Amino acid sequence: MLREVAVTRYVAPLRTGGSVPGVVEADDLGTYVVKFTGSAQGRKALVAEVIVGELGRRLGLRVPELVRAHFDPALGADEPHAEVRGLLEASAGLNLGMDYLSGGADLTPELAQTFRVDPLEAGRVVWLDALTANVDRTVHSSNLMVWPTRGTVPARLWLIDHGAALVFHHRWDGTAPDKAYDFRHHALGRYAPDTRAADAELGPRVTEALLREVVSEVPDEWLAGEPGFADPQAVRDAYAGWLAARAAASAAWLPTDFPSGDQLAAEEHARREKSRRGRPGWLQRVPDLHGRPGAEQDWSVHLDGAD
């Protein structure tokens, strides 16, 4: 089971993610990023975090440790922003913590130009994302971190933020396990992911027994009351069954075609030019802060934070 900790200090909110997670300290002297049950994404985002994160860990990918984090909203009583304070007040009890990678860097397109990822490692990450229908690992929002970034220990790639995965569970609408997903713009596409080798290595390991072990990590209270299911165990069975069927159907959804770094750069340039041509004349001289690397420095904008 995931370790349990009690939050002893609420440090600060992180505003780069839509769920507004918070940095906290806990009674084991650890520092964690906590995702709260009271966020707009709700408990299903936490369920996806646990299932995908723990599955990735068991397959040998680097995922920061996940813990069950007990939170008392009184710890956030001094939070000055009313919206964040409301989130904390709605999140009493059990939440999800992820080990805080202090000093880690987001894998941005700029960092990706110099940071190297082995094609097989890239293939394993893409394969996991395709298996779990993770729609939030793109070149513009990688949800990947490079850590450590200081000292003599080699920097490694870490997987974070899987709340947008398992899209089928939002409606349980009978989405076919062999459905293909478009991973053309996956954050690791530039590294020529060897997804065929990853499939041969990882596919046989994703057994129903392994999946049942993983879904058992999800707390009952995050599964209780799911429409159409008798109890939390029935929901776990549905997750394990769907993922087992999807793993068996990898030939139908295995992504193999990714643009090169140069192709991605050309596509981005074309996108910016098209956007600029659509502006009025006076606005065409204003930099595209969202598209041109370095534009934020031109305007002295400093962005800080982490998911």
Average pLDDT over residues 105-134: 96
Cα dihedral 90, 94, 95, 100 sign:
positive
What would the pLDDT profile of 239-248 be if each residue is shown by its tens digit?
999 999 999 9
Tokens of 64: 């920061």
Claim to verify: residue 117 and residue 80 sit in the same structural domain:
no
Residues 6+ apart with CB under 8 A from 173: none
Radius of gyration of the chain (CA): 20
- Can you tell me the distance from the alpha carbon of 109 to that of 114, in angstroms, rounded to the nearest whole number? 9
The candidate with the shortest Cα–Cα distance to 164, out of 186, 127, 139, 132, is 132
Average pLDDT over residues 29-37: 98
The answer as to whether 83 is a domain residue is yes
- Can you tell me the distance from the alpha carbon of 246 to that of 175, in angstroms, rounded to the nearest whole number? 11
End position of a domain, from candidates 54, 84, 99: 99
Claim to verify: residue 125 and residue 55 sit in the same structural domain:
no
> pLDDT > 90: what percent of the chain?
75
Predicted local confidence at residue 272, as pLDDT: 78
The answer as to whether 281 is a domain residue is no
The answer as to whether 264 is a domain residue is no
Choose the weakest-confidence range: 149-163, 257-271, 275-289.
Answer: 275-289
Residue 120: domain span = 105-253
Claim to verify: residue 71 and residue 28 sit in the same structural domain:
yes
The answer as to whether 205 is a domain residue is yes
Claim to verify: residue 29 and residue 145 sit in the same structural domain:
no
Claim to verify: residue 71 and residue 111 sit in the same structural domain:
no
The answer as to whether 240 is a domain residue is yes
Claim to verify: residue 74 and residue 111 sit in the same structural domain:
no
Claim to verify: residue 82 and residue 170 sit in the same structural domain:
no
Claim to verify: residue 136 and residue 71 sit in the same structural domain:
no
Tokens of 127: 């394969």
The candidate with the shortest Cα–Cα distance to 61, out of 145, 178, 139, 165, is 145
Claim to verify: residue 93 and residue 128 sit in the same structural domain:
no
User: What is the β-pairing status of strands 93-99 and 66-71?
Assistant: antiparallel
Are 267 and 229 in contact, with CB atoms under 8 Å apart? Answer: no
The answer as to whether 304 is a domain residue is no
pLDDT band, very low/low/confident/very high, at 264 (cuts 50, 70, 90)? confident
Task: Indicate the pTM of the whole model.
Answer: 0.87
Predicted local confidence at residue 1, as pLDDT: 87
The candidate with the shortest Cα–Cα distance to 143, out of 61, 239, 248, 25, is 61
CA distances from 101 to 134, 159, 214, 301 (A): 22, 11, 23, 24
Claim to verify: residue 217 and residue 113 sit in the same structural domain:
yes
In the predicted structure, residue 165 carries a pLDDT above the cut 60: yes
Average pLDDT over residues 249-274: 84
Predicted local confidence at residue 266, as pLDDT: 84
The answer as to whether 305 is a domain residue is no
- Can you tell me the distance from the alpha carbon of 20 to that of 84, in angstroms, rounded to the nearest whole number? 8
Question: What's the mean per-residue pLDDT of the chain?
Answer: 89
- Count Cβ atoms within 10 A of the Cβ of residue 122 and give its class: 0-12 exposed, 13-18 middle, 19 or more buried: buried
- Can you tell me the distance from the alpha carbon of 163 to that of 135, in angstroms, rounded to the nearest whole number? 10
Tokens of 58: 């068991």
End position of a domain, from candidates 52, 69, 99: 99
Domains identified in the chain, total number: 2
In the predicted structure, residue 31 carries a pLDDT above the cut 90: yes
Claim to verify: residue 136 and residue 224 sit in the same structural domain:
yes
DSSP 156: E
> Residue 160's CB: how many other CB atoms inside 10 A?
25
- Count Cβ atoms within 10 A of the Cβ of residue 286 and give its class: 0-12 exposed, 13-18 middle, 19 or more buried: exposed
Average pLDDT over residues 16-26: 89
Predicted local confidence at residue 305, as pLDDT: 38
In the predicted structure, residue 284 carries a pLDDT above the cut 70: no
Burial code (b: 16+ CB inside 10 Å, e: under 16) for 84-96 equals bbebbeebeebbb
End position of a domain, from candidates 59, 84, 99: 99
Claim to verify: residue 110 and residue 79 sit in the same structural domain:
no
Tokens of 123: 């293939």
